[in-house]
Structures are given as C-alpha cells and as structure tokens.
C-alpha cells in the first residue's frame, strides 16, 4: 500500500455521527422492529456500528450489489449478486448504504425493495455525494456526511478491495510509481 491517503473524516467524527444518526432512528422507530438492510460490502462497517447504537428490536439482512468493479468510476451497470434471505413484506425497512453517488444503484434497489411491499421504507447513508447524482428518485432520509466529488476509501469503502479496514474516511491519492 504505497498510496497516499488524505483523511477526510476522522474515526472520532464517524463515531459521533453514527451516534447522532442512531439517536434519530431510535426516536423515529420507537416501539417498532426495524429490518436493517445492509448493502454489501461497503456498508457492513457502518451497519454494524449503527446497529450497536440502536435501542430497538432489529433484524439484519444483506444485499450485494455491484456497479463499480475494481475501478473508481461506476460502470452504470447495476447487478444484484445477493438478494435478501428474509421477506420484507409488512416490515419497517431501513436500507443502510455506505455512499450515494450517481443514485443509479440506490434507485434500482429501492424499486426492487418497494415491490416487496414493506410497511415503511427509509434510506440511511453514511456519505452523500450530490454533485455526482444523475438519478434523483431515491433520496436518503438519514445522511451522515455530504461530501465533495472525491473518491473515498476506508470505514468499509474500498479501492479494488483494499482499504476497507481503515478506521476513517480518506481520499485516495495514488502514488506515482
């Protein structure tokens, strides 16, 4: 790992923001069971940290959706590699995303999930990049940070499957070798 990484959001800032999001979600869903739907792989760290701070009955399920491959730009082709194990009909669903970029992936996933008739459906994203948005029909209900149009890694987000384990969000600045 010879790449240079500039810290954008520190581990401390992430923890504080996840606590704030959890507090709001706890208030909004008080007395309800919530189905957290984690979008793999990038959303797993955020989902786990958020779940630990929720004072609710929760269920967790996973979807694996690809649109980036090993590059830094979305391919525009959305593929559901793994769908939910449990039905969500009649459930209160909170889709947990690591980042909303173009909006293509989220739009496709939202349409897919709403077709299963949940009791309610909301979206929680750690990072939102509105400058990259090309599809606007899936806006987040809970947003951690609005960030500029930079390729970010860490806290679950990767570049070619590397850097997911960084405890912060960083901007990748590839070295010139």
Fold (CATH) for 10-150:
Rossmann fold (3.40.50)
SS3 97: strand
Where the chain has pLDDT below 70, the residues are 1-2, 67-77, 174-177
Which residues are the active-site residues?
A: 101
**Predicted pLDDT of residue 104:** 85
Distance CA 129, CA 152 (A): 11
For the chain, give me the number of helices (H) and strands (E)?
3, 9
Q: What does residue 172 show for φ and ψ, rounded to 5 degrees? A: -80, 125
């Amino acid at each position: 790992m010879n790449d240079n990484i500039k810290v954008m959001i520190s581990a401390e800032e992430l923890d504080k923001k996840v606590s704030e999001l959890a507090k709001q979600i706890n208030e909004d869903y008080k007395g309800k069971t919530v189905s957290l739907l984690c979008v793999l792989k990038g959303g797993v760290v955020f989902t786990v940290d958020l779940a630990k701070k929720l004072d609710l009955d929760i269920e967790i399920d996973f979807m694996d959706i690809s649109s980036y491959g090993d590059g830094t730009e979305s391919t525009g082709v959305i593929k559901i590699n793994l769908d939910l194990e449990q039905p969500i009909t009649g459930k209160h669903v909170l889709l947990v995303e690591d980042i909303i970029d173009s909006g293509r992936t989220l739009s496709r996933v939202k349409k897919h999930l709403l077709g299963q008739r949940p009791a309610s459906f909301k979206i929680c994203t750690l990072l939102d990049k509105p400058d990259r948005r090309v599809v606007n029909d899936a806006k987040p209900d809970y947003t951690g940070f609005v960030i500029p149009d930079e390729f970010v890694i860490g806290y679950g987000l990767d570049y070619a499957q590397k850097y997911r384990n960084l405890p912060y969000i960083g901007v990748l600045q590839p070295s010139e070798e």
